[in-house]
Structure 1
Amino acid sequence: MEINDGDEDEFGFSRNYFLAKDMAASGKKSTHKLSDINLVDEQELRAEASNAEPKHEKEIESLMESYKSLYSKWVFELRCGFGLLMYGFGSKKALIEDFASTALTEYSVVVINGYLQSINIKQVLITLAELLWDQLKSKRRTPSRNLSKAQQAFNTRSMDDLLAFLDGSQVEENDGVVCVVIHNIDGPGLRDSETQQYLAQIASCSHIRIVASIDHVNAPLLWDKKMVHTQFNWCWYHVPTFAPYKVEGMFFPLILAHGGSAQSAKTAAIVLQSLTPNAQSMPIDNLYTVSRERFLVSSQVTLNSHLTEFKDHDLVKTRRHSDGQDCLYIPLASEALEKLFLNYD
């Protein structure tokens, strides 16, 4: 049978593929484990990171100066109703705050730190409404009847009422504008769908302008077409700063850091506080029987789900007893347990 060049190439590729698979299967597997990595203490790692000498300072300073030439353009686009979205490698916190402090002096500015773990979105709305009201009151010595009614107790109003005031037709557009600076609009405190929907509604209000930054590679997936083009109305700007995430990084554990007993206790407390009161009160002895008698769980499935939560966060582990039964134990050191009880009580 005659074999052409193309068949020979395909045959050779197939043969090499299966040879490689056989060699990989016959090779010895590594005995190394992730737990074998010698991790440093988090505080020690942060101290070393803070003492690291910065590089390319002149080049970075020149880069930051070049962005200042865009300030007037950014202000113009905000006045036209667009939102500014900054992306690129490096912290953009200093850049955005410099822009706000030097180019947005005629507006009231509210700063939201999206890198924090939790943010009260209703409190943000109340603050925006109060700032807008202060602007209107200063520009109008005798506020209209509608405005006087709108000012009544913002903290008791619903989210829809607050949004209606920020976008109210009773207020002329030139009477007041509040700029909202959002560091890390893709941060953990703002990343859920409901919060993003509220932020989009805020951005679409006629008296609100948004300046925000993103750092997560999948941040654009937070929004649909309506949110991007109609509500946020983003103007995208690639502004890499190469600045370290010093402030933003304070609220996240370092990858190669070992938390130690203090960090373990802190992690345990966070997990316990996130559970339901029944799950927090679970005893160890005669676990399922006692838990059911105390109405902590109604079935073995519910108990197993709680235990899975504990195991996933290394709060509980299992080991085989001499009689062959699996027993639960807490892998935290005594120091961590003491700190946990003190903090949790």
Structure 2
Amino acid sequence: MEMNDGDNEEFGLSRNYFLAKELRGSGKRSHSKLSDIDVVDEQELIAAVSKIEPKHEKEVKELMNSYKSSYPEWAFELRCGLGLLMYGFGSKKALLEDFASTSLTEYSVVVVNGYLPGINIKQVVAALAELLWDQLKSKRKNPGSSSKVQQPFSSRSMDDLLAFLDEERKNECFVCVVIHNIDGPGLRDSETQQILARVASCSHIRMVASIDHVNAPLLWDKKMVHTQFNWCWHHVPTFAPYKIEGMLIPLILAHGNTTQSAKSATIVLQSLTSNAQSVFKVLAEYQLSHSNEEGK
């Protein structure tokens, strides 16, 4: 079987590629170690970061102001029962809070900082119920005519709270929940996302949220996206720095206390494949059971 010029050229390129890979693999390997990295003190690194001058402040401010023209559209979508989901590069914290303070004055608003690791979702739902109850009391013609004395919402079950938020009433009272980073570490587990989806589907709740993680949409199934959250997606890149959101992220390349080192190690381990994690687990278990031996 004869080969034409095109086949010869393709064969030559393929052969050169594999030869280059072989030669590169046979070269000398680096003897550098992770321990050779000159790690600075944590406070010194934080001080150095704080001295970095922000760039393009004027352009970022103009971009943020340009979104103000969309506020009426966003407010209308909320009134129609849609949930607003903001995505795009840059911190959206200031944008969402400005939108809430200027265009959501008809609602009671609860702000949830999803970037915080220790969020109690039960307390968030109880706070929403408290605000809704206050609105209902203020609109009731005879406040003293309530048939039952309300049990404290903090002591109610989650199902009772959700039923209260979703109860059909003649009064059109709404509570808006603004969630910064609904994909944050404190809200990322499946159970919490299921609760948030149920909250968003309640008749007296309106939800505005932001996401930043590239895999955030994988948190939800089709029912959650289109039926419960009922997201209306808005691409709103701000290019604003994640100053507040990034305050709790461990500085991996900095000396710190034992807790900080443990957090840094956890981040590194989570970035590995499952097989690599299993290998490190075996090594750690061996080292713990042979504490008299020096690690190599």
The normalised TM-score by structure 1 is 0.75
1:258 aligns with 2:254: yes
1:243 equivalent in alignment to 2:240: yes
Q: Distance in 2 between matches of 1:309 and 1:181?
A: 43
SS in 1 for 2:85: strand
Q: Are the equivalent residues in 1 in contact too, given 2:108–2:175 (CA < 8 A)?
A: yes
CA contact under 8 A between 2:250 and 2:263: conserved in structure 1? no
Name the amino acid aligned to 1:17. Y
Q: Which has the larger radius of gyration?
A: 1
Q: Does 1:152 align with 2:151?
A: yes
Q: Give the drift of 1:34.
A: 2.5
Query: What whole-Å deviation, never above 9, does each CA across 1:44-86 have from its counterpart, x for those lacking one?
Result: 2222222211111111111111111111111111000011111
Larger relative contact order (CA 8 Å, sep ≥ 6): 2
Q: What secondary structure is seen at the aligned counterpart in 2 of 1:327? A: coil
The answer to whether the Cα contact below 8 Å between 1:196 and 1:222 also exists between their aligned partners in 2 is yes
The equivalent of 2:274 in structure 1 is none
Q: Which amino acid aligns with 2:161?
A: L
Partners of 1:33 and 1:54 in 2: CA distance: 34
Cα distance per residue 1:300-322 (max 9 Å; x no partner): xxxxx9x949949xxx9579xxx
Matched, 1:197 2:194: yes
Partner residue, 2:292: 327
In structure 2, the residue matched to 1:222 is: 219
TM-superposition CA deviations, 1:183-221 (whole Å, max 9, x none): 000000000000000000000001001010100000011
Deviations 1:139-196 (A, max 9, x none): 1032597x65383221221111100000002x2351x100001000000000000000
**One-letter amino acid matched to 2:126:** I
Aligned to 2:94: 94
Q: Is the 8 A contact 2:112 2:180 kept in 1?
A: yes
Structure 1 residue 329, shift from structure 2 partner: 7.2
Q: 1:4 to 1:308 in 2, by over 3 A?
A: closer
Code of the aligned partner of 1:259: H
Q: In the aligned structure 1, how far is the partner of 2:74 from the partner of 2:149?
A: 31
Structure 2 Cα separation of the partners of residues 309 and 202 of structure 1: 42
Q: Distance in 2 between matches of 1:139 and 1:201?
A: 26
1:78-122 Cα deviation digits (max 9, x unpaired): 000011111111111011011111111121110111001121111
Secondary structure in 1 matching 2:148? helix
Gap regions ≥5 residues in structure 1: 272-304, 320-324, 331-345
Against the structure 1 CA distance between its residues 113 and 150, is the aligned structure 2 distance closer, same or farther, given a 3 Å change threshold? Answer: farther
Matches within 5 A, 1:264-303: 264-267=258-261
1:59-138 correspondence runs (5 A) = 59-138=59-138
Equivalent residue, structure 1, for 2:184: 187
Contact 1:82/1:235, CA 8 A, preserved across alignment: yes
State percent identity of aligned pairs: 69
> Any runs of at least 4 consecutive aligned residues in structure 1 with deviations exceeding 6 A, and if so which?
none
The two structures have a TM-score, normalised by structure 2, of: 0.87
Aligned length: 282
Deviations 1:224-267 (A, max 9, x none): 11111111111111111111111111111134x3133xx22455
Q: Secondary structure at the match of 2:111?
A: strand
